[in-house]
Amino acid sequence: MQYNKILVVATANVGKVNEIRELLKKLPLIVQSSKEIGFTKEIIEDAGTFEGNALKKARSVFPFARTWTIADDSGLCIDALGGLPGVYSGRWAGNDRSQIVSHTLQTLQEKRINNRNATFVSALALITPDASEYVFLENLLDT
């Protein structure tokens, strides 16, 4: 079976798409964002896990793309905060993502937590042209 060589990244984040293009530049692939293929619907990341959010995004875009589709979800899980911010990492500091570090440090100080062990978790969902689904989960940083 011959598949086309288009990979759709289920994101509106131009920076993320450019990073993936750079990583895969030696492969015979055309990397496109969901927006570039005309998918403009907002996908609410409301699953309780990184894997669930990645799959939700990939499954939302795949019927529109009808080709290789990937999506990711990732975040910081702080042991002393019961795994928070976790899947809420993007919303942890409100609408201003630039405040995540200061908000996290302030939360740890307010709770008088000295143990700052954390793990950065990343999930990647891939749907192939024949609709097979694969999910990859990695703990990228364990401090």
Assess contact for 78 and 121: CB atoms under 8 A. no
What pLDDT, in 10s, does the model give residues 80-107?
888 887 887 776 666 666 677 777 778 7
Average pLDDT over residues 40-55: 94
**Set 73, 79, 96, 142: catalytic member:** 73
Q: Quick one: DSSP state of residue 85?
A: B
Looking at CATH, the fold of the domain delimited by 6-142 is given as Maf protein (3.90.950)
Query: What are the structure tokens assigned to 70, written together?
Result: 């990937």
Dist. CA 25–CA 23, nearest whole Å: 6
Residue 1: the pLDDT is 44
Which residue, among 21, 22, 41, has the nearest Cα to 31 in the 3D structure? 21
46 is catalytic: no
Average pLDDT over the chain, rounded to whole?
Answer: 87
Q: For 117-138, what is each residue's pLDDT tens digit? A: 888 999 999 999 999 999 999 9
**Cis preceding-peptide flag for 85 (omega within 30 of 0):** yes
Token couple for 139: 């703990």
Q: What percent of the chain has pLDDT over 70?
A: 89
Q: Helix or strand or coil: residue 100?
A: helix
Element (H, E) at 101: helix 100-110
- CB contact at 8 A, 87 and 53: yes
Q: Would you kindly state where each structural domain of the chain is located, as residue ranges? A: 6-142
Query: pTM of whole model > 0.75?
Result: yes
